């Protein structure tokens, strides 16, 4: 699949984030011409800087809400493929700053859609949203793509809105143009190089480094955890398939097999098993804002229509995350990243 991207011009919003940095590295390894537009990395420690991928791509620091700056760089890049990752991605932060969350996640989507609409170069466009776009009924079964979109908290709801914006642009504009457009609703991603606040695996790593116990806020919340390479492989496959066949475009869930949707407590246990001595955790609610308790995805559509399927189960996902983290502590993170990409995509 990666051979397809050789010499392709790919525009990524949010390229300095966790997913974006992994994606940039994959595309550089594939021989693509990568253009990235995003804010500076939020965390002092971040994969974008650690991997030094900025030296291998054309990067522009800018705010997705700044239409003039975005369009100027977009017109300069003249991309064939666009992957929209830029977002305010944290549920708790969306409670603290809902206006910024909506401005970024909704108007940011409008802005990139406008860039695509006013271009003559784009053939494949993907808006990455989240599994949390659905109205959550706490069902034991997975949500399908035709379920109602109505996220509860400002983050989830803003991503529901982002989906609706994309749907409107498809119906109003993109169907009349030679542009294939999809959205991807991915589950919770984990992997080496995530240093974000209020995420369980980065919290595990911080607890180990600081010599303290991890505090689990919602130990029995079930999420579709998956390695970041699982989600990115689905995005890349989707962009490729719809590039050559517009009938493949659509709205897709991207998540692990049902057996790998686990509780936060089980994820912490797996991390401890893989890390070894020095990791402990305790269960203690901090009385924080509402977060969904039970969330699973039905990913039958992407499996049947595109032939995508998970490669690494949750056990392997945690193993690879721990492997990268220990390599980072030892000063060999970039070698580990490239090795994991080659392993995942069968290049070894």
134-171: per-residue pLDDT in tens?
999 988 889 999 999 999 999 999 999 999 999 999 99
Query: Cα–Cα distance between 67 and 110 in angstroms, integer?
Result: 9
Average pLDDT taken over every residue of the chain: 95
Structure tokens at 192: 């080496």
- Among 11-15, 162-166, 174-178, 282-286, the minimum mean pLDDT is found in 282-286
> Is the distance from CB of 334 to CB of 52 less than 8 angstroms?
yes
How much is the pLDDT for 323?
98
Please state whether beta strands 222-223 and 262-263 pair in parallel, antiparallel, or not at all (unpaired). Answer: antiparallel
Query: Cα–Cα distance between 200 and 188 in angstroms, integer?
Result: 10
CA distances from 172 to 49, 167, 189, 248 (A): 39, 9, 32, 19
How much is the pLDDT for 206?
95
Structure tokens at 205: 């790593």
CA distances from 252 to 9, 124, 231, 290, 302 (A): 23, 15, 11, 26, 6
> Is the distance from CB of 22 to CB of 228 less than 8 angstroms?
yes
- Structural domains in the chain plus CATH codes: 2-344 (3.40.50.720)
245 by Cβ neighbours in 10 Å (0-12 / 13-18 / 19+) ranks as: exposed
Q: What is the pLDDT of residues 39-80, one digit of tens each?
A: 999 899 999 999 999 999 999 999 999 999 999 999 999 999
Query: Cα–Cα distance between 211 and 215 in angstroms, integer?
Result: 13
**Position 292 confidence tier, pLDDT thresholds 50, 70, 90:** low
- Judged against a pLDDT cut of 90, whether residue 273 lies above it is answered with yes
Q: Which helix (H) or strand (E) holds 186?
A: strand 180-186
When pLDDT is averaged across residues 297-302 and rounded to a whole number, the result is 96
> Is the distance from CB of 48 to CB of 21 less than 8 angstroms?
yes
């Amino acid at each position: 699949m990666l051979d397809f991207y050789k010499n392709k011009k790919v525009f990524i919003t949010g390229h300095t984030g966790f997913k974006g940095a992994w994606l940039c590295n994959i595309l550089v390894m594939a021989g693509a011409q990568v253009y990235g537009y995003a804010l500076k990395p939020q965390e002092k420690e971040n994969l974008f800087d650690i991997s030094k991928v900025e030296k291998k791509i054309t990067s522009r620091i800018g705010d997705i809400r700044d239409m003039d700056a975005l369009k100027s760089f977009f017109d300069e890049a003249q991309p064939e493929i666009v992957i929209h990752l830029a977002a305010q991605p944290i549920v708790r932060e969306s409670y603290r700053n809902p206006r910024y969350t909506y401005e970024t996640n909704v108007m940011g989507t409008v802005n990139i859609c406008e860039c695509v609409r006013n271009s003559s170069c784009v053939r494949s466009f993907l808006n990455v949203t989240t599994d949390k776009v659905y109205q959550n009924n706490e069902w034991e079964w997975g949500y399908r793509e035709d379920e109602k979109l109505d996220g509860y908290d400002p983050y989830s709801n803003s991503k529901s809105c982002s989906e609706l914006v994309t749907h409107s642009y498809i119906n109003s504009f993109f169907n009349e143009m030679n542009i294939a457009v999809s959205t991807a609703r991915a589950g919770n991603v984990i992997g080496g190089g995530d240093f974000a606040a209020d995420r369980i695996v980065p919290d595990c790593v911080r607890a180990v480094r600081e010599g303290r116990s991890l505090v689990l806020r919602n130990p029995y919340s079930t999420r579709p955890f998956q390695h970041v390479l699982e989600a990115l492989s689905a995005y890349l496959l989707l962009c490729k398939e719809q590039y050559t066949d517009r009938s493949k475009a659509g709205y897709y869930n991207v998540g692990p097999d049902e057996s790998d949707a686990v509780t936060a407590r089980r994820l912490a246990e797996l991390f401890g098993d893989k890390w070894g001595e020095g990791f402990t955790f305790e269960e203690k609610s901090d009385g924080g804002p509402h977060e969904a308790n039970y969330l699973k995805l039905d990913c039958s559509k992407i499996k049947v229509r595109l032939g995508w399927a998970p490669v690494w189960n949750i056990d392997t996902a945690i193993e690879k995350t721990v492997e990268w983290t220990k390599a980072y502590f030892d000063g060999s993170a970039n070698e580990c990243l490239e090795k994991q990409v080659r392993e995942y995509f069968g290049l070894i």
